[in-house]
Chain A
Amino acid sequence: MKSIIAESLTERSRQRALQALGVFCGLAAALWLAAAEAPTKLVTIAVSPLVISFMMVFGAFISRWSLPALIRGTSDIGGDVRQVPHLVVWGILAGCLWAVGNTLTIFGVRDIGLSIAFPLWNSNSLIGIVWGIVFFRELRRAGWLRWVGVVGGAVIIFGGALLLSLASTSQTSSQHPLRGVTAALGAGMMFGSMYIPYRKAYISGMNPLSFVTFFTFGEMGTITALTVGFMGGVAPLWHELVRFHAILFWPLLGGFMWVVGDLFQNFAAKYVGISRGVPLSNTNQLWGLLWGMLVFGELRSAPRGVIAQVVGGSLLMAVGAVAIAFSSAPESEYISWKEAAQRESDLYQIDPAYVAMSMEGKERRDAPFRRSWLDWSLVTAATSIFAVFGMLAVIPHMEFNWLWLAGLTSAMLVVLAACGIMMWKTTGFN
Chain B
Amino acid sequence: MMVGENRTVDGEKSVWWIVMFHDVQLWVPLAVFLGGLILLRAIQ
Instruction: List A residues at the B interface (Cβ < 8 Å).
Output: 81-82, 85-86, 89-90, 93-94, 96-97, 100-101, 103-104, 107, 131, 135, 179, 182-183, 186, 189-190, 193-194, 196-197, 200, 226, 230, 347-349
A-B contact count (CB 8 A): 83
Selected contact of B29 from candidates A97, A179, A347, CB within 8 Å: A97
Known pairs A81-B3, A86-B16, A348-B18. 16 more at Cβ < 8 A? A82-B3, A90-B26, A93-B26, A93-B33, A100-B33, A100-B40, A107-B40, A135-B25, A196-B25, A196-B28, A197-B29, A200-B25, A226-B40, A230-B44, A349-B7, A349-B15
Residue in chain A with minimal CB distance to B1: A82
The 5 A-B pairs at the shortest CB distance, nearest first, are namely: A100-B36, A193-B32, A186-B39, A193-B29, A196-B29
By a CB distance below 8 angstroms, the chain B residues around A94 are: 29
Query: Could you tell me the distance between the alpha carbons of A349 and B8 in the complex, rounded to whole angstroms?
Result: 8
Chain B count of residues within 8 A CB distance of the other chain: 28
B43 to chain A, nearest CB (A): 5
- Asked if residues A183 and B43 are in contact (CB atoms below 8 Å), the reply is yes
Query: Could you tell me the distance between the alpha carbons of A101 and B35 in the complex, rounded to whole angstroms?
Result: 11
Interface string of B13-30 (1 = CB under 8 A from A): 001101100111110111
Q: Could you jot down 11 A-B contacts, CB within 8 Å?
A: A85-B15, A86-B16, A97-B29, A97-B33, A100-B36, A131-B28, A183-B39, A190-B36, A193-B29, A348-B15, A349-B7
- Asked if residues A82 and B2 are in contact (CB atoms below 8 Å), the reply is yes
By a CB distance below 8 angstroms, the chain B residues around A226 are: 40
Query: Could you tell me the distance between the alpha carbons of A194 and B36 in the complex, rounded to whole angstroms?
Result: 12
Query: Could you tell me the distance between the alpha carbons of A183 and B2 in the complex, rounded to whole angstroms?
Result: 42
